[in-house]
Each structure stands twice: as C-alpha cells, then as structure tokens.
Chain A
Amino acid sequence: MQIKPYYNEILTDHNLHPSHKQVLPDANFTLQGVNPSCGDNITLQLKIDPDGIIRDGAFAGDGCAISQASADMMLDLIIGRSKADALELADIFMRMIKGTASPAEIETLEEASSLKDISHMPSRVKCAVLGWHTLEEMIHPPVSRAN
C-alpha cells in the first residue's frame, strides 16, 4: 500500500532545510514557547532595531514538522518588517488557521499561506501557531500567567 501524502513540499522543505534554525548571537529578544500537551518547544530570537524594524531572527527547538516549518516560514516573512507589520501578519495567520481570514489577507502570508488547511486539522492547530504565539508574546508580553 502506497502511503497517502500528508505534508506538502513547501512544508517538508522548510522542516528539513530550515533557513533560520540557528543561534542569533546579537539577538536582543529571546523567548521560549512551549506546547505543554505535546512537548513541542521553540526558542525564538529576534534582533529588533531601535526604529522597530526586525533586522534578523532565528529559532531553535524540537517539535513536529508543522511547528518547525511554520516558525521558519514566519521568520522568512517578518525579517525586514516593522514590529507593527509583524503583529498584523501574526493576526492574519491566526485568523487563517481559524478559517476567518480573507483570500487577499492569506496571500500576504506568502509561503506561510500553505498552512491554511491546518484549519481542518484541529489536533495540529497548536503546532502551527506555536512560533506565531511566541512572536506575539515577545512583542506584546501578557500581564502575568504565574500561579
């Protein structure tokens, strides 16, 4: 029996040959994101200039192909953009996963738009958004979750 294809080539390529899976020595923002239910974790690093432009970014971590490829695609998209642009793209990505983004909005996500079918895989949503959540928390830290 021939295995049914599950991941598209864009995804497997980002997973096997990530452009940004490395350490960023001059990062000024570093934050770890974790999916407690499945153990995926990502450490996101950004170098943000005083003018608010994301000059460079990298990630390290361990997780499924979706979580790792999604973080790599995200960095492809946000490097060189302003923090405000990055947050807007993150918002569009989250809405794409929920199935509420418009086709025009989804197009602005470039390769990351290839993850739109995740909205039909509820068990994988957390994998896809891990890097993006970490980005949002880094730029707009939540008040406190300590207990």
Chain B
Amino acid sequence: MSSLNVADIRNEFPFFSANPDLAYLDSSATSQIPKRVIDRMNRYDLLEKASPFRGLYTRSVQATEDYEHARDLIHRFIHAHSPREIIFTRNATESLNLAAYTLSASLLHPGDEILVGIMEHHSNLIPWQQAAKRTGAVVRYLPCTPDGLYAPDTLKSMLTPKTRILAVTQMSNVFGNVNDLRTLCQLAHANRTIVVADGCQSVPHMPVDVTDLDVDFLAFSGHKMLSPTGIGVLYGRESLLETLPPFLFGGEMIEYVTTEGAVWAPLPQKYEAGTVNTGGAIALGEAVEYYNTIGFDTMMAQERFLTQRLFSGMLDIPHVHILGSDKPEGHHGIVTFLLDGVHPHDISAILSENGVAIRAGHHCAQPLHTYLGINATSRVSLMFYNTADEVDTFLNLLKQIRGALGYAD
C-alpha cells in the first residue's frame, strides 16, 4: 500500500486552489471533483456529442460505446454479475424511487410489510411510505443500536411472513458506521424478503461487492464520488429487474411500438427512458478510473488517519458529545456531534465565518433525530483529499465556540 501525497492529490482538484482559505469538511453531502473527470465530460459535450443508441453515424456509435464503457467500469467497480444490472439515473433518490415504485407495483398487497431502517435518509424512507399508501402495505421501522448499526438479531425478531421488503443503508450518513449488510441480506432472504440498500455513503469510501453482499438493489449518487451532479446508479439483481415493470415510459426504453402498446427494451435500457445523461455517465466512469488509479487501500488509510485525529481531538474538548460509536473505527470519515448549549446552526455559521464548512441540521434523517430525541446535530465529514491541518483548524475553532457565544467555559 502506497501512502498518499495529499498535496499532489489536491492539485488535481481545482476547488482547493479556488478556495485556499476554506477547510471543506462536508464531503458526505457532496464531494469535490478532480479536473480529469470534468475534462472527460467536457470532451464529450464539446467535441464528441451525439445521441447514443439511435444514430447510425460514427459519432453516435462512439457515444454509445463510451456510455456503455462507463457502465462496464461501474459494474466491475461494485462487482455486479453483469453491466445489465447497472441502471443510470439522476441520483440515488431517483434510483430508490425506481426501486420502490417498481417493487411496490408488482409485489405489495394490502397488509404486506415494508421494514425500513430508522437511520435511513429521507430518500430511502419517503418512497416506501408512499409505496405503502399506494398499495395498502404497512411500513414498520427497524431500530438501530447506539453505535449506529442494524443488529442482525433485531432484524431477525422483526421479520414476519408478511415482510416483503427491507430498506436499509450500508452506512448511515449520520453515524458513519458500516452495517453487516451481508448478514442482513442473508436473514432477509431466508425470509423471502427483498433488500434495497442505500450505498450513497459506502460506495464512495470503501470497496463494495454486491455479489458477495448478495444484495438485491443498491443505490448511489455520482456527486458524492468525485463526479458532477445529475448522474446516479441503481444496481439491481438481473433476475428481479427482468420481472419488474418499467418505471418511466418513452423513448429509448422500448423495442417495438404500435398504436396499441409497446414491447420493452431489454435490460438495462428498459429502465433508461429518454435521452440519457451521456456526459454524466462518462464522467462517473472517469471517476471510477480515478478510484482505480489511487486505490481504496490508499484512500481508506488517509480517511482512517484523519478520522482518528478528528475523533481523539473532539474527545478532548469539554461539552462535545459524539453520536454513535465511541471508537473512531465506527466512524468512516463521518463524525456527528452536539455541543452543550450551542445550536448546530450557530456552530456551522461561526465555523463558516472562520473558513470551515460543515453540515448542520437533521441531515435528511429527521425520523432518526426524532428517534434519538434530538432536533438537530452538526456533522463533520472527511474524504481522502482532506488534510491534518484542516482537521486541526476545525478542532481549534470548536474549542472556542462556546466562548464566542458568551459561555465562561
């Protein structure tokens, strides 16, 4: 494992030279982008643009090849069986809506149960509430441990013969702890329950192998993994996608159309209605190449180093309370906290005034905050391009925030 030269890495991200006085500690919301990813997208948009799939001329054929090459890179990146299992979407939210809509249409009946994790981001929660309303199914909530995990035993006790779907995240965007998704899938499958997983926080930060996990669906967003907004992915098990109905209807998703009806295109085009986001997909493919070049071993070593430094520094600051695991290994680059007597928005605003960007609020996980009995929290999130100096700047300011609000200690 080679160690990372962070200065060299940061030179590849124009954001850092454009914002030299900012410590960007909000990568779980959206990551920064290496120049080569945007250059590749621009090359398509400015020099190579043509609509893929339909044209019979060279440029269109090339666009199809480049788009499919991106799909191929992503299928290997997450170890899917086949590129047909990779569906390009706008973002993880659209991916999860696709899964919820098509699964509910073909699977759910009145009285059926959808088991949704209490840590879920709204994007893996509201689509299930709505699916339940459409079909008469019931949403039940799988609680989490204080460490921010779904315990297999708890899952076992909550699965019933009526549980059709389990919706869980691989890594909570609040706690940053990694679920044993493989075991959760085993338990669910033994109950004939389909698993829809949110991979938004896991896929950008660790190797994810959907075949080993044996997960049925996994959603993630490009913009959290070094890519532009507007491109996301839904991995779906091929045998399931074959039996489910389409989500959106229109051009590109059909094989044959008459005035009476249509025959759907084979996978994955069946789920990619309309002219696709070719440039976005190509950019995401380039980001995957970037991941492959640097390697998760190297990236994760830097993220572990930074998390450790952040975590132990925060433990030393009076009045700071970290949510979730009391060990840094239980926080993969994400540390969410409370500071006694100071509202998270004040923390974030004061830090912003001092050149540090962190997130404050409920992090799109309002039911989790209600479950924890907290209105809002503050979250620091790290990526391999962050530095020890940035972490130290944050820690030094955090120590002074109560004083800035008039507290004596």
Give a binary string over A98-126; 1 marks a CB under 8 Å from any B CB, 0 the rest: 00000000000000000000000101100
Q: Which residues of B contact A65 (CB under 8 A)?
A: 342-343, 346, 405
Please tell me if the beta carbons of B361 and A9 are within 8 angstroms of each other in the complex.
no
B396 at the interface (CB under 8 A from A): yes
Q: How far is the CB of B320 from chain A (nearest CB, A)?
A: 15
Please tell me if the beta carbons of B404 and A38 are within 8 angstroms of each other in the complex.
no
B339 at the interface (CB under 8 A from A): no
Q: How far is the CB of A146 from chain B (nearest CB, A)?
A: 18
Give a binary string over B345-367; 1 marks a CB under 8 Å from any A CB, 0 the rest: 11001100110000011100000
A4-B353, A13-B406 as given contacts; A39 in contact with B397, CB under 8 Å: no
B407 at the interface (CB under 8 A from A): yes
Please tell me if the beta carbons of A7 and B405 are within 8 angstroms of each other in the complex.
yes
Q: Of the candidates A62, A66, A121, which one forms a contact with B375 in the assembled complex, judged by CB atoms under 8 Å apart?
A: A62
Please tell me if the beta carbons of B361 and A12 are within 8 angstroms of each other in the complex.
no
Q: Of the candidates B349, B362, B397, which one forms a contact with A3 in the assembled complex, judged by CB atoms under 8 Å apart?
A: B397
Q: Which residues of A contact B376 (CB under 8 A)?
A: 38-39
B400 at the interface (CB under 8 A from A): yes
A39-B376, A62-B375 as given contacts; A127 in contact with B404, CB under 8 Å: no
Q: Which residues of B contact A124 (CB under 8 A)?
A: 349
Look across to chain B and name the residue whose beta carbon is closest to the beta carbon of A123. B349
A16 at the interface (CB under 8 A from B): yes
Please tell me if the beta carbons of B353 and A127 are within 8 angstroms of each other in the complex.
no
- Counted as pairs of residues, one from A and one from B, with CB atoms less than 8 Å apart, the total is 63
Q: Which residues of B contact A40 (CB under 8 A)?
A: 345
Look across to chain A and name the residue whose beta carbon is closest to the beta carbon of B353. A6
B403 at the interface (CB under 8 A from A): yes
Q: Which residues of B contact A1 (CB under 8 A)?
A: 354, 393, 396-397
Q: Of the candidates A2, A15, A38, A68, which one forms a contact with B361 in the assembled complex, judged by CB atoms under 8 Å apart?
A: A38
Q: Which residues of A contact B362 (CB under 8 A)?
A: 39
A39-B361, A62-B375, A64-B345 as given contacts; A16 in contact with B396, CB under 8 Å: no
Distance, CA A71 to CA B354, complexed state (A): 26
Q: Which residues of A contact B401 (CB under 8 A)?
A: 3
A50 at the interface (CB under 8 A from B): no
Please tell me if the beta carbons of B349 and A6 are within 8 angstroms of each other in the complex.
yes
Contact residues of B between 387 and 405, Cβ < 8 Å to A? 393, 396-397, 400-401, 403-405
Look across to chain A and name the residue whose beta carbon is closest to the beta carbon of B366. A39
Please tell me if the beta carbons of A12 and B406 are within 8 angstroms of each other in the complex.
yes
Q: Which residues of B contact A13 (CB under 8 A)?
A: 406
Q: How far is the CB of A108 from chain B (nearest CB, A)?
A: 27
Where the two chains meet, the residues of A that have a C-beta atom closer than 8 Å to any C-beta of B are 1-7, 9, 12-13, 15-16, 38-41, 62-66, 68, 121, 123-124, 127
List 7 additional A-B contacts (Cβ < 8 Å) besides A1-B354, A12-B405: A1-B393, A1-B396, A3-B400, A3-B401, A6-B404, A12-B406, A124-B349
Where the two chains meet, the residues of B that have a C-beta atom closer than 8 Å to any C-beta of A are 341-346, 349-350, 353-354, 360-362, 375-376, 393, 396-397, 400-401, 403-407
The 4 A-B residue pairs with the shortest CB-CB distance, nearest first, are A12-B406, A64-B345, A3-B400, A64-B343
